[in-house]
A and B are shown apart, each in its own frame.
Chain A
């Protein structure tokens, strides 16, 4: 954020009013709460997991998707609170960003947690009370100006690139279907009409029926939920794990770097689907959870390498700047100064990977891993349809669903990468 010299920091510190300190304390409390919630989410599962009542997949899922991010974010929020308490002006805007992300996290985990977000809202509002605002707003606005200009330019380029717009529209369409399919799908995901098997597309079954009398249209629509969820879960977990390992490797260098990078080398020695295949067969059971775990294991090295490269660049830049001299800890520098600058390429990569994971998951499902027979899942539908491939609709529609979805992610990822690429970003 703003490049505040040490002297400025001290001046600010001298006459900081009580209100500023209060914001810091409040923010730290939010952080502590977040950490607590993270622990609470996992705690009830530990016993059953050790007793073997819960399988590894669900336990790891909660751990990686809910608990870990909560604790790490909690730590981050707590740290921001602490530095705001010490009146580092450049930390104030982070209250906004961090709380927005925290808010998203709470919504993702669901349950009654989103109510906690009221705290975040209050923290953001407090930031704008006149006595606090005077400490950071001017600097922030100065800093934001060029960023907003860049953003506006990016948006302009995105709007002018028809393929990206098409991709975004398709993705929104899929998300809409996934969210509302229960309201309008003519049949349920596992509903079968045993008297109407292998029917060609007709007004009653617009995309026909399969060999058990399942309505293809309804099944394809229901499958949107499962497939999007897998893709999203895999990519977000891989991203979290990869980002932290990559960041650590890049930031600490030396042995850490060497170990992490050699491990990624080994993972890159397999084509993704093959390694995932080996992992699922080793795990033994065939279900969607295991596919997801396998894909996470396969995909994290991509992000580790990407983030490491970015961190190396950013770290060099930072050494020249003052952040260190102000006395920030390694962890805080990493979290508040370095990682945010790696966001752009990571997001582009994640968008592209959503398509890749979707395809690979469908492939695994096709060769016989994955959901139990009869589940509405695209890859599985094609797999069961191949025995009846002369009834083209069994295979055609689920395939089109995968194709369009992957295409949309690729269109957006590709387009956005070109737009953000400084080399191609000539005016």
Chain B
């Protein structure tokens, strides 16, 4: 069932189109549109989301509840369920293969098989709600081991495990009658280390389980061996969340998407997990997308921020730039609503007015009914995306902040 392993070279040959990416950009979302076809009408949840993620960056998505953060994440992974449909856009991804070759492809055009190879392996996601996401009838460890044995070859690890086991028996009982045999076996295995044979399913399962425990240790789970043998309902919410994080980290993904992954954790653990994420980023040369309501987390851990409003990324800049010089009226409202960056409260709702109904969204700029700077053009046309400063993108006719009045 799970024989799909590293075979990257064949994986990508069905690409007919050549996509280009600026160097260093690992993920480029261009004009992503996702809608839900419901009884009351078409919910235009995403209306042209564009955002870039460079290698080694930590990108934050922020915005009010219902603005489409989770839908963006699911759309990138192509996990939008019916009645949702991804209608337009490109998600261009730079895939690093084993031999350091690079393959650039549009995830939305890959076949289901190719996409499965990406999911969990190249791009992993940690979902919002730890109560409902783990499968209730499987042990935590098995659920983590499943993804490990799915995407990794584990041949070498299996061999090493065998050698270790033999050496142990030998060390315990050097005078055993079959000591010679064991020694022979060990040297035979050792000679295979350069080109390990494919492991048996049983060995693979054992190794995967062992790695799963290691992963649990890595996310600082208390007594990981025991936890691995427990069922999700026996764990607390925070422990479950950490198990999910361990699961998503277990294949060293190039991009890790955390959909409010730290919301359920207490403050100290939250800091630990965030540090962990940053460590991982450094170790494996990965990039992270963090979806959060918590601007404190953003300020501490993220290098870049994308501010979303009603299915559109209205502003994108580096964290320092955004906090010091917010240009979009919505962003400045957002920042003003928070007295101190370190205070952890969800005060995004303090901007006056209501989140718009996405079935009949406001024309032109979706923010105009709530915007204090709106003029007639705002309700007529969609503001174009503009680079107001290097690396600082905004969709607004009347940008504020340091570039105020340029128009």
Instruction: Give residues of chain A (386-427) contacting chain B, Cβ–Cβ below 8 Å.
Output: 426-427
Interface size (A, Cβ < 8 Å)?
A: 5
In the complex, A426→B43 CA distance in Å? 13
* CB of A156 closer than 8 Å to a CB of B: yes
What are the interface flags for B38-68 relative to A under an 8 Å C-beta threshold, 1 for contact and 0 otherwise?
Answer: 1110000000000000000000000000000
| Residue in A153, A156, A157, A427 whose Cβ sees the most chain B Cβ within 10 Å | A427
Complex-state Cα separation, A157 to B40, whole angstroms: 12
Contact partners of A156 in chain B: CB under 8 A: 39
In the assembled complex, which residues on chain B have CB atoms less than 8 Å from the CB atom of A426? 38, 83
- What residues of B have a CB within 8 angstroms of the CB of A153 in the complex? 39
Residue ranges of A at the interface with B (Cβ–Cβ < 8 Å):
153, 156-157, 426-427
A334 to B188, CA, bound (A): 79
A-B pairs with beta carbons under 8 Å apart, 9 shown: A153-B39, A156-B39, A157-B39, A426-B38, A426-B83, A427-B38, A427-B39, A427-B40, A427-B83
What residues of A have a CB within 8 angstroms of the CB of B39 in the complex? 153, 156-157, 427
* Cβ-closest chain B residue relative to A427: B38
> Interface SS of chain A: helix, strand, loop or mixed?
helix
Chain B nearest CB from A427 CB (Å) reads 4
User: Shortest distance in angstroms between A421's beta carbon and chain B's nearest beta carbon?
Assistant: 15
Given contacts A427-B38, A427-B83, 4 further A-B contacts (CB under 8 A): A153-B39, A157-B39, A426-B83, A427-B39
Distance in angstroms from B238 CB to nearest chain A CB is: 27
Central interface residue in B39, B40, B83, by most chain A CB within 10 Å: B39
Least Cβ distance of A53 to chain B in Å? 60
Residues of chain A within 8 A (CB-CB) of B38 are: 426-427
A156-B39 Cα distance, complex, nearest whole Å: 9
Q: How far is the CA of A426 from the CA of B38 in the complex (A)?
A: 8
Once bound together, how far apart are the Cα atoms of A427 and B38, in whole Å?
5
Enumerate chain A residues within 8 angstroms of B40, measured Cβ to Cβ: 427
Cα of A426 to Cα of B40 in the assembled complex, Å:
11
CB distance from B390 to the nearest CB of A (A): 44
Q: Which residues of B contact A427 (CB under 8 A)?
A: 38-40, 83
Say how far B74's CB is from chain A's closest CB, in angstroms.
16
Q: How far is the CB of B42 from chain A (nearest CB, A)?
A: 11
- Chain B residue at minimum C-beta to C-beta distance from A149: B40
Complex: A157 Cα to B39 Cα, angstroms: 9
- Cα distance A166–B4 when bound, in Å? 47
Measured CA separation A427–B39 after assembly (Å): 5
- CA distance in complex: A157, B38 (Å): 12
- Whole-angstrom CA separation of A156 from B83 in the bound complex: 17
Q: How far is the CA of A153 from the CA of B83 in the complex (A)?
A: 17
Which residue from chain A places its CB closest to the CB of B40 in the assembled complex? A427
A220 to chain B, nearest CB (A): 41
Residues of chain B contacted by A157 (CB below 8 angstroms): 39
In Å, the complex CA distance between A153 and B38 comes to 11
